[in-house]
Every structure is written in C-alpha cells, then in structure tokens.
C-alpha cells in the first residue's frame, strides 16, 4: 500500500520502517490526512504476518513540531460556528475531535506488535505523545534533538495521552514540571530520566532502533500489566500528598491562576494516576475538551501559535517585491545596542561592518560580540568553530568607505536628531544606490529622521529591543515616504536573523513604547495615590505581567523616563506630561540620584550579589500611604491591563498598527503583556468590546479620563464588533470611525 505522507519498508528481519516525510513541507505536522494514513499503517502492519515490529522515524531534519495550524484553527472555527445553535452538539463534536489522536495512539500501544520511535531532531507536542505511546524510544545525540510537551505555552495542554504516559514513565514531579512549564529535554536528559532507551550517533539511529527490536521489546506497555506502579509512587502516599500540595502552591505562585491549562495538567495527573490508563485517557480528553472552549486557549493559540508563525513567514511582506539576499550589513554605532545587532546579524551568517568614530570604539563593539560568544559557548549553545566563524564575519572599522557595498545599513547611535542627521549624510555619501538605510530608534519619528535623507523611500526604521540577542521582537517602522522595497528588505533581514517583526506606521514611541509608557504611568498614578510600591509591582505580576512596572522602569532607566518627559514637554507642551509624574521622576533623578538598575538604585535598591534587590524604603515617605488591606487587588489588576489595552486600541484607531495580530504579538513579545489574554487586542475581544467599554468607563469615573474609551470602541460596543472582525487580517478591513 502506498501513502502520501509516509513510506513503509519491511526488511528481511520483519521490521517495518515507517518514515514520516510530508511532501512540500519543511517539517512534519499532524493533519487529519496524516492521522488517517497512520491509522491504516497500524492496521496493515498488524495484518501482515511478516512484520514483527515497527520503527517509526522522520525523513526530515526534525522529527515533528506537532499539530498543524489549519487543523487547530478548524477546531476553533467549529466551536464558534456551532456553539450558538447547538451547544451540546458542538461540545460532543469537539470531544470526539479532541480524542482522535488519543485513541489512535492507544491503538499503537495495544496493537500487539512492538513499535520503537527513532527521534532524529525536534520532537514536540503530539509527536512526543506518539513517541510515548511507542513501546521504546531511541534518540540521536544531535544538539537539535529536543523532546517536549510545550502545549501550555499556547494555552492548551498535552491532550493526546501526554498527561497520562509521562508520569507513568518518569516520576510525577519531573513530569509535572516539564508539562506545566512547557520545557523540553535534551537526548541525554531524556535518557537519564528513562524516557529513551538509547542515545546514539545520528547515522546509527535507525539501525539502533532495529537492533533494539531484535533484542526484544515488550509490545505490552508497563501500565497495561497487572500490579503496575508509577515511578513516583501512588498519589495517596506521603510523598504523593507532599508533591501535589507543593505543585498546587508553586503553580499558584507562578501563574496566579491565570492559566487554566496549567491547572488542568495537575488535575489530569492527579486523577489519572488513581485509575487504569484507559480511564485516565478519558479524564484527560474531558479536561482537554473543556480547555479548548476557554477564551485563554482560543486567544493564546491564535496569537502565540497561528499569528506568530504567520508573521514569521512574512504575512506583512509587500506582494510583488522580489526576495532580497542580504549578504552584507553595515552597523553605525558600536555601543552595546549596535554591537548586539552586529552579533545577531553575524549569527545568521551575514557579513557585518561595525563602524564607530574611531578604531578603539569599533573594536570595543566587536569585543561585545566576543563576550556574547563566550557566554553562549559556556552554556553549550555554540561550538568553538561556530563561534570563530561568527566573529570572523564582524569587521570593525572607523572608515565609512567600508560600508559602500552593504545591502543594508542600520544606524544605532544616540537618540539625538543632530547625531543621526550627521550619520545619515555620511552613510548616504558612500552607500550604493539600491541599498536600504534603517534607523534603530526607540522614540524619534522616522518621517522626521528621513528628512535628512536624499532617498526617503529607501529610509525605514528597525527598532530592536534590549538585550537584542534575547528579545525576539522588532518593530519595523514606516515613514511617510518609505517604499515597498525598503519594507521588503527590512522584513527579509528580520527573518534572516530569526526575529519576529511587526510593521508600524510612524508616531512618537511607535507601538510598544507607547503601551509601555502607559503601564509605567499608571504605576506613577498609584504611587501618588499612596498605594504601597511593593503592592504595585506584585499585583502587576498577579495580573500576568512578567515584571512589575517599577522594576521595568529600573531596567529601562529612570533617567531615560526623565529625558522622555522633558522631550515631550519641549515638543508638545506642559500638558503632555502629568506634573505629578514629572515631580516624582525629577525627585528620583535630581534629588536622590536614583537612575535605575545601572546605577545600583532606582525604585529598587540593588546590593551586590548574592543579595537580592529590594524596594527602596524611601518611596513610602514621598506620599501618604493607604492601608493595603483596604485596597482592591482586582481593581489594580484591571487598571494595568485596561490602560495598556486602551493604548493598543488607540494605535489601531489612529492607523499606527493596522493588523490586530501585530498588536497582540507586539504586546506579548515586546513587554510581556499577560500572555494568557493572547495580547492587548485579544484581551478586549476576549472580554467583549461592550464589557470592556463598561469597565473602562467605570475606571475613568474613579481614576481619571485616561481610561475613557475611544470613539471607535464606543461604536464597536454598539455594533457588537470585534477588532479581529473589523480589522480582519485575512480579508477586507472596515474603516475606523
């Protein structure tokens, strides 16, 4: 029998090699067709008396990334389409769909012939669950091998047997940690835990799997045998009681109850370990069906799985512009930011010319990359030869003539219009005609900077976030005269360095910084109101933010906030900045010298390690303090999330951000906006615009006009519209009011 996605070859020893190799795809993913074919392969190998066992492997460089986007989108579309008309029927269909993979894998596990999974590369999600259902696993020792169940990161959980088989294979504590954090195992770690039987050289992978079968692999899973006991012990033993009590506490501390899927994992493991495997799988299926119907799962999958991949694949790239091959990039400004941009560019195999005012400064910039290479090598993320090759691609210089043949030049000098003007003129004096010039600016409008250019259509903004080698987001900023070619080249470059781009039209602060400033400003409001500083940051984290606003302000520098406020007053007048905020930050900078983490003191004190940072006690003396027992925590959480979401809505209403996917991804990757919401725009859509408007109006009545909903939000509340419908990224968009 022939298959589209698989090749099956049976050798003289009766071992069937099933190779998964989907045509036209760079990675194998689970689709309905794949599952249908796998079902037929199980039946065929069972029926064939010549087949003694099966080795399952991949024909790609990776094993599999898990489920297909379109399949997941289809499941959610089914929920939305059928729920209103027939809620019970829709739930049953979803339950059946959710169990398809579960019972297919159970069929492998109970087919009567041994299966061995030969894992050659990245193995995630449903692919890991398939491997767990096999009777043994062998992995390559390639660094590319990562085995994990990361579903919780996109709002769901391992719902094809993962919560049942993993804690039956390894101790429940390690299983819970892996699934609730979405972390992955290297091949060696997987072997140490007992997940894989052998780790071998890549070229020996299939032969090792076959040899394992020849030696004898039990076709009956341990948990299908009488008297089976899980490695971690029974749930009701003293160790079990201690584990699950601690697991619940840790989960509450880490997630503040914001992630239903994470809690469902603990419940599935707790309940499943008390019953036979088939009952446990049914329990898991029910929880999975429930989680799939939550707003969190819908929003997180849409943003962090579907939209993220679409943007990474060039969803916003202008049509009709030939793909550019960027061979050489010039970077002007070898400070930490410019040097770091050089590092990620060279890491992508692109030549870099790192230019500064003199060779000493340029060499210092390259030394930054040398430090990053050393750090990566210590962590095992970079080999010696790879590090040497990366550094060989970076050429420090003080001569602008060295960037004459660059395809793209990125300016990364100080946020000073005069300095940027001089750099633009010097670069354009030598740059080849077709090259693109980009400014890495975080606040200065691109249109104004492009006035210094003789070819503004080839001038664009590429805003990186610090630290560049860790932050995955870039804002690509369009000036009024920026052309399609400049946008295409910028997006091709961002794709080459493996960052996620959002395309933003020109405005002060662009998108991310506008939202971040709202977050910090609300913290200033709370300080002035007398809400204890430690409560402000802790409640922000309870709302789902990874870092409190005061801690974030310390990281970005308090004196930078001071400079931004002064610049806004100079450009837009005194009313552009709340005088209470100006007074607070002026006192912090000028009177106290508290400039942020870089100075060892800001809103927090930063003692020498190993001591931890602590909130500056002097903050409570600046304003009369409220009694914390009388402060409503829920309201504080709402204030933080709503003020950011309102700013995101304003940027869409103003046409700064035109695609809700970018508003959501930008808010999560840019500053960690509560990922469980799916992003700032999904937070509004998930709540419902009408309810969001009511909440905003309530907050405005108590805490100020900055919470007033925008005209567009008011209109959408009346019509029952959503941002994803009005600004449909897959079709025609309605005009903003």
Please identify which residue in the block is written with the tokens 């709302």: 543
For residues 243 and 232, is the Cβ–Cβ distance under 8 A?
Answer: yes
| pLDDT average, residue stretch 656-679 | 96
Beta-bridge mates of residue 461:
439, 477
Q: Give the residue from 75, 130, 136 showing the smallest Cα distance to 103.
A: 130
The pLDDT score that the predictor gives to residue 567 is 84
* Structure tokens, 164: 């049942």
The CATH architecture assigned to 513-726 reads Orthogonal Bundle (1.10)
With a cut of 60, say whether residue 379 has pLDDT above it: yes
The pLDDT score that the predictor gives to residue 258 is 96
With a cut of 50, say whether residue 737 has pLDDT above it: no
| pLDDT average, residue stretch 86-99 | 83
| pLDDT average, residue stretch 562-584 | 90
Distance in angstroms (rounded) separating the CA atoms of residues 122 and 234: 32
Alpha-carbon torsion (153, 159, 160, 163), positive or negative: positive
With a cut of 50, say whether residue 579 has pLDDT above it: yes
φ, ψ for residue 479, nearest 5 deg: -80, 170
pLDDT grade, residue 86 (50/70/90)? confident
Domain chopping of the chain, boundaries: 6-293, 328-509, 513-726
| pLDDT average, residue stretch 139-167 | 95
Measured between its terminal Cα atoms, the distance across the chain in Å is: 59
With a cut of 50, say whether residue 683 has pLDDT above it: yes
Q: Is 123 exposed, middle or buried (0-12, 13-18, 19+ CB in 10 A)?
A: buried
pLDDT grade, residue 416 (50/70/90)? confident
Distance in angstroms (rounded) separating the CA atoms of residues 590 and 702: 32
Mean pLDDT of the chain: 93
180-235 pLDDT per residue, tens: 999 999 999 999 999 999 999 999 999 999 999 999 999 999 999 999 999 988 89
Distance in angstroms (rounded) separating the CA atoms of residues 569 and 563: 10
Distance in angstroms (rounded) separating the CA atoms of residues 574 and 561: 16
Ordered DSSP codes for 272-340: HTTS-HHHHHHHHHHHHHHHHTSHHHHHHHIIIIIIHHHHHTTTTSPTTPPPP---EEEEE--SHHHHH
pLDDT grade, residue 487 (50/70/90)? very high
Q: Is 730 exposed, middle or buried (0-12, 13-18, 19+ CB in 10 A)?
A: exposed
Distance in angstroms (rounded) separating the CA atoms of residues 38 and 127: 12
As a whole-number percent, the residues of the chain with pLDDT over 70 amount to 98
The pLDDT score that the predictor gives to residue 736 is 43
| pLDDT average, residue stretch 687-714 | 97
Please identify which residue in the block is written with the tokens 């341990």: 222
Beta-bridge mates of residue 18:
8, 56
With a cut of 90, say whether residue 597 has pLDDT above it: yes
496-539 pLDDT per residue, tens: 999 999 999 998 889 999 999 999 999 999 999 999 999 999 99
Q: The domain 328-509: what is its CATH number?
A: 3.40.50.720
| pLDDT average, residue stretch 362-390 | 93
253-264 pLDDT per residue, tens: 999 999 999 999
**Region at 369 (left for phi over 0; alpha for psi -120 to 50; beta for the rest):** alpha
Please identify which residue in the block is written with the tokens 């399609």: 484
Convert 227-255 into a string of H (helix), E (strand) and C (coil). CCCCCCCCCCCHHHHHHHHHHHHHHHHHH
Catalytic residue annotation: 463
The CATH architecture assigned to 6-293 reads Alpha-Beta Complex (3.90)
Distance in angstroms (rounded) separating the CA atoms of residues 148 and 154: 14
Looking at per-residue pLDDT, the higher value among 78 and 15 belongs to 15
Question: What is each CA distance from 161 to 105, 167, 228, 230, in whole angstroms?
Answer: 8, 10, 17, 15
| pLDDT average, residue stretch 90-98 | 84
Task: Name every residue whose Cβ is closer than 8 Å to that of residue 179 and which is 6 or more positions away in sequence.
Answer: 149, 152, 157, 158, 162, 163, 166, 265, 269
With a cut of 70, say whether residue 127 has pLDDT above it: yes
**486-525 burial: b if 16+ Cβ within 10 Å, else e:** bbbbbbbbbbbbebbbbbbbbbbbbbbbbbbbbbbbbbbb
Q: Edge to edge, what strands does the sheet with 136-140 contain?
A: 6-10, 15-20, 53-58, 115-119, 136-140, 198-200
Looking at per-residue pLDDT, the higher value among 500 and 237 belongs to 500
pTM above 0.95, yes or no: no
With a cut of 50, say whether residue 735 has pLDDT above it: no
The pLDDT score that the predictor gives to residue 70 is 64
The pLDDT score that the predictor gives to residue 397 is 96
303-346 pLDDT per residue, tens: 998 899 999 999 999 999 999 999 999 999 999 999 999 999 99
């Amino acid at each position: 029998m022939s298959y589209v996605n698989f090749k099956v070859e049976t050798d003289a020893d009766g071992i069937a090699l099933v190779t998964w190799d989907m045509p036209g795809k760079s990675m194998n993913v689970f689709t309905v067709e794949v599952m249908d074919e796998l079902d037929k392969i199980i039946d065929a190998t069972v029926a064939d008396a010549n087949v003694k066992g099966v080795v399952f492997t991949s024909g790609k460089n990776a094993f599999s990334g898990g489920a297909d986007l379109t399949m997941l989108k289809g499941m959610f579309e089914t929920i939305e389409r059928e729920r209103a008309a027939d809620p019970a029927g829709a739930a049953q269909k979803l339950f059946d769909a959710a169990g398809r993979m579960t019972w297919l894998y159970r069929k492998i596990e109970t087919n009567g012939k041994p299966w061995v999974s030969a894992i050659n590369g990245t193995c995630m999600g449903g692919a890991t669950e398939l491997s767990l259902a096999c009777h043994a696993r062998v992995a390559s020792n390639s660094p590319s091998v990562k085995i994990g169940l990361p579903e919780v990161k996109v709002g769901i959980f391992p719902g094809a047997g993962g919560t049942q088989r993993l804690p039956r294979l390894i101790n429940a504590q390690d299983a819970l940690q892996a699934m609730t954090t979405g972390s992955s195992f290297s091949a060696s770690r997987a072997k140490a835990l007992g997940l894989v039987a052998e780790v071998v050289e890549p070229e020996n992978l299939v032969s090792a799997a076959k040899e394992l079968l020849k030696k004898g692999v039990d076709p009956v899973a341990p948990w299908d045998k009488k008297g089976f006991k899980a490695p971690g012990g029974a749930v009701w033993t003293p160790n079990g009681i201690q584990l699950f009590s601690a697991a619940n506490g840790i989960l509450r501390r880490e997630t503040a109850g914001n992630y239903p899927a994470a809690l469902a994992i603990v419940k599935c493991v707790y309940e499943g370990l008390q019953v036979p495997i088939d009952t446990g799988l049914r329990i898991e299926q029910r929880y999975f069906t429930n989680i799939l119907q939550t707003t969190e799962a819908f929003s997180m999958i849409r943003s962090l799985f579907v939209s993220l991949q679409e943007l990474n694949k060039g969803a916003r790239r202008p049509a009709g512009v030939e793909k550019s091959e960027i061979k050489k990039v010039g970077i002007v400004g070898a400070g930490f930011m410019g040097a770091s941009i050089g590092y990620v560019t060279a890491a992508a195999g692109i030549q870099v010319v790192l230019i500064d005012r003199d060779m000493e400064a340029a060499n210092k910039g390259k030394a930054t990359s040398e430090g990053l290479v050393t750090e990566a090598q210590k962590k095992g993320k970079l080999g010696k030869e790879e590090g040497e090759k990366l550094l060989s691609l970076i050429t420090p210089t003080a001569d602008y003539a060295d960037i004459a043949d660059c395809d793209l030049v990125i300016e990364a000098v100080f946020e000073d219009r005069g300095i940027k003007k001089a750099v633009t003129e010097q670069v354009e004096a030598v740059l080849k005609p077709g090259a693109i010039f980009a400014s890495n600016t975080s606040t200065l409008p691109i249109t104004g900077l492009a006035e210094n250019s003789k070819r503004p259509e080839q001038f664009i903004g590429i805003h990186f976030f610090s630290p560049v080698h860790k932050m995955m987001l870039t804002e690509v900023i369009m000036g009024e005269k920026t052309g399609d070619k400049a946008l295409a080249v910028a997006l091709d470059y961002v794709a080459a360095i493996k960052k996620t781009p959002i395309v933003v039209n020109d405005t002060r602060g662009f998108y991310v910084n506008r939202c971040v400033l709202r977050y910090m400003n609300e913290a200033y409001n709370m300080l002035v109101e007398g809400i204890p500083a430690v409560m402000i940051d802790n409640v922000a984290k309870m709302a789902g933010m990874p870092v409190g606003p005061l801690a974030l302000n310390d990281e970005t520098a308090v004196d930078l906030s001071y400079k931004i406020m002064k610049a806004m007053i100079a450009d837009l007048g005194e009313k552009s900045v709340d005088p209470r905020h100006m007074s607070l930050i002026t006192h912090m900078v000028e009177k106290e010298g508290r400039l942020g983490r870089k100075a060892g003191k800001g809103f927090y004190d930063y003692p020498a390690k190993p001591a931890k940072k602590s909130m500056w006690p002097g903050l409570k003396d600046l304003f009369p303090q409220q009694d914390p027992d009388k402060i409503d925590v829920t309201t504080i959480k709402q204030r933080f999330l709503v003020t950011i979401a309102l700013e995101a809505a304003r940027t869409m209403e103003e046409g700064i951000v035109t695609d809700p996917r970018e508003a959501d991804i930008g808010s999560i990757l840019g500053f960690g906006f509560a990922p469980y919401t799916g992003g700032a725009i999904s937070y509004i859509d998930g709540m419902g615009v009408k309810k969001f408007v009511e909440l905003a109006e309530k907050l405005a009545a108590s805490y100020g006009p900055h919470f007033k909903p925008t005209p567009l939000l008011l209109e959408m509340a009346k019509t029952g519209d959503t941002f994803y419908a009005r600004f449909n990224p897959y079709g025609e968009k309605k005009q903003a009011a």
